[in-house]
Amino acid sequence: MKVLVIEDEPLAAERIELLVQKYDAALTIVAKIDSVEETLLWLNENYTPDLMLVDVQLSDGLSFEIFKKTNVRCPVIFTTAYDQYAIQAFKVNSIDYLLKPVTFADLSSALDKFKTLKNIQSPLQIFDIQELINSVKNLNKT
């Protein structure tokens, strides 16, 4: 699974990467980005990651600007030193909100939640695709 880390503090970004690798070496950090604008560019030029780990306050503003300016289609785990943005975070694909310093236990719990949601969602997506195929077949018959 591909993980995008959005964090403007280099040491915090490195720590998150190490914790993710400790949790599951099969999780790949595809990029570490430190600003809203760079994130928008990356999302426009690349595929959607499976998961985003996002700091709230970035070098050029709040990360919520990312969600206002583009359609993020993957789950998000927020990591921040500020607790006042939690409600806002859950309005934009957030599956967890971790306060810094992020611990391995907290990140593990959030990643477990992500994997559980992914396992629930995958069969539903397959069902939706099958329904779409059946609908197209029925349209072709008429």
pLDDT tens sequence across 70-100: 999 899 999 999 999 999 999 998 999 999 9
Q: How many CA atoms lie within 13 A of 23 on its CB side?
A: 24
Q: Cis omega (within 30 of 0) on the bond before 49?
A: no
pLDDT tens sequence across 25-61: 999 999 999 999 999 999 999 989 999 999 999 999 9
β-bridge pairing 57-58 and 94-99:
unpaired
**pLDDT of 118:** 83
Locate the domains of the chain by residue range. Answer: 2-141
Top-level class of domain 2-141: alpha beta
Burial 54-67 (b: 16+ CB within 10 A, else e): bbbebeeebbbbbb
d(CA 139, CA 121): 27
pLDDT tens sequence across 110-142: 999 999 988 876 554 544 555 555 566 666 665
